[in-house]
Amino acid sequence: MILALTISAYSQTAQNVWRDLSNVTYKIGQDEFGELYIPVFSDKIKDLEGKVVEADGFIIPFEGMFKPEHIILSSLPLAECFFCGSGGPETVMEVLLKNPIKYTSKKVKVRGKLTLNDRDPEKLMYILKEAELLAN
């Protein structure tokens, strides 16, 4: 019975992870290069930090930068993603994979431990570590 409850709770988190991650606001900060937007994570997002979550989405193929063990995953298709379209920074995450994968334009699903980043402007604000590919 305990196993069934655990799977149910885990699945609920997996289905809602992008919706939960979209509940972020920003404050304006400064660094040596000027003004920057710093994410302010909701309590719901903070509760996910360090937990294993599942996310599905599309691999963003940066020219010359695709690394089979370090990908950018977007909740939106390429034409709408943060880098190419109208999506916001909350629609993408860095994924550090345990095993390298091959690029695909099809939707994939990954599972890993969520890390929040509000300090390093060179990284995305959501990072999935120790991740594995579940489906493609």
Q: Which CATH number belongs to the domain containing residue 60 in this structure?
A: 2.40.50
Residue 66: pLDDT band with limits 50, 70, 90 = low
How far is 23 from 117, CA to CA, in rounded Å? Answer: 15
CA distance 82 to 78: 9
pLDDT at 71: 93
* Residue range of the domain that includes 47: 2-135
- Cα end-to-end distance, the chain, whole Å: 31
Cβ 41 vs Cβ 116: under 8 Å: yes
Confidence of residue 14 (pLDDT cuts 50, 70, 90): very low
Summarised one tens digit per residue, pLDDT across range 53-63 is: 999 999 988 76
Give the number of domains in the chain.
Answer: 1
pTM: 0.82
pLDDT tens digit sequence for 95-123: 999 999 988 989 999 999 999 999 998 89
Q: Which residue has the tokens 């599309």?
A: 58
